[in-house]
Structure 1
Amino acid sequence: MDYVTTLKILVIGESGVGKSSIILAFTTGDYNPSFPATIGVDYKCKVMEVNGVKVKLGIWDTAGQERYRTLTSSFYRDAHGAILVYDTSEPKTLAKLKEWVEELQVYSTKKNIVCLVVGNKIDKPRAVPREHGQAFAQKHRMLFIESSAKTNDGINLAFEELVQKIIETPGLWETNKSSDNIRITQQQWEQQEESTCYNNICTI
Structure 2
Amino acid sequence: MAKQYDVLIRLLMLGDSGVGKTSMLCKFTEEGFNSTHIPTIGIDFKMKTLMVDDKKIRIQIWDTAGQERYDTITKQYFRRAQGIMLVYDITSEISFRHISKWLDMIDEGAGSVARILVANKSDASALRIISKEEGQTFAREKNLAFVEGSAFSGDNLDEAFEGLVKIVMDRNKKDIDEQLQSIKLYGSRENSTIDAEVKPGGCCS
TM-score class normalised by the smaller sequence: 0.7 to 0.9
Q: Is the 8 A contact 1:80 1:173 kept in 2?
A: no
- CA distances 1:14-71 after superposition (whole Å, capped 9, x unpaired): 0000001111011001000004110001111111011112111010111100011112
C-alpha separation in 1, matches of 2:178 and 2:163: 23
- Deviation of 1:172 after TM superposition, in Å, equals 6.8
- Deviation of 1:78 after TM superposition, in Å, equals 2.6
List gaps (5 residues or longer) in structure 2.
none
- 1:189 is paired with a residue whose SS is coil
- Deviation of 1:160 after TM superposition, in Å, equals 1.2
C-alpha separation in 1, matches of 2:149 and 2:165: 17
Moved more, 157-166 or 14-23: 157-166
- Deviation of 1:199 after TM superposition, in Å, equals 3.6
Distance 1:152 1:48, change over 3 A: same
- 2:178 is paired with a residue whose SS is coil
Q: Is the 8 A contact 1:113 1:172 kept in 2?
A: no
Please, what TM-score do these two structures have when normalized by structure 2? 0.85
C-alpha separation in 2, matches of 1:172 and 1:53: 15
C-alpha separation in 2, matches of 1:133 and 1:119: 7
**How do residues 39-188 of structure 1 correspond to structure 2 at under 5 angstroms?**
39-108=41-110, 111-124=111-124, 125-171=127-173, 173-176=175-178, 185=187, 188=189
C-alpha separation in 2, matches of 1:54 and 1:154: 21
CA RMSD of the aligned region, Å?
Answer: 2.5
- CA distances 1:77-116 after superposition (whole Å, capped 9, x unpaired): 13111100000011111100000000011111xx442111
- CA distances 1:101-160 after superposition (whole Å, capped 9, x unpaired): 00011111xx44211100000111211100111111111111000010000011111111
- Deviation of 1:164 after TM superposition, in Å, equals 1.4
Count residues with an aligned counterpart: 192
Q: 2:190 is aligned with what amino acid?
A: W
Q: State the 4+ residue runs in structure 1 displaced beyond 3 angstroms.
A: 170-173, 182-186, 190-193
Q: Is the 8 A contact 1:7 1:173 kept in 2?
A: no
List gaps (5 residues or longer) in structure 1.
none
C-alpha separation in 2, matches of 1:185 and 1:32: 38
Identity %: 31
Q: Is the 8 A contact 2:85 2:116 kept in 1?
A: yes
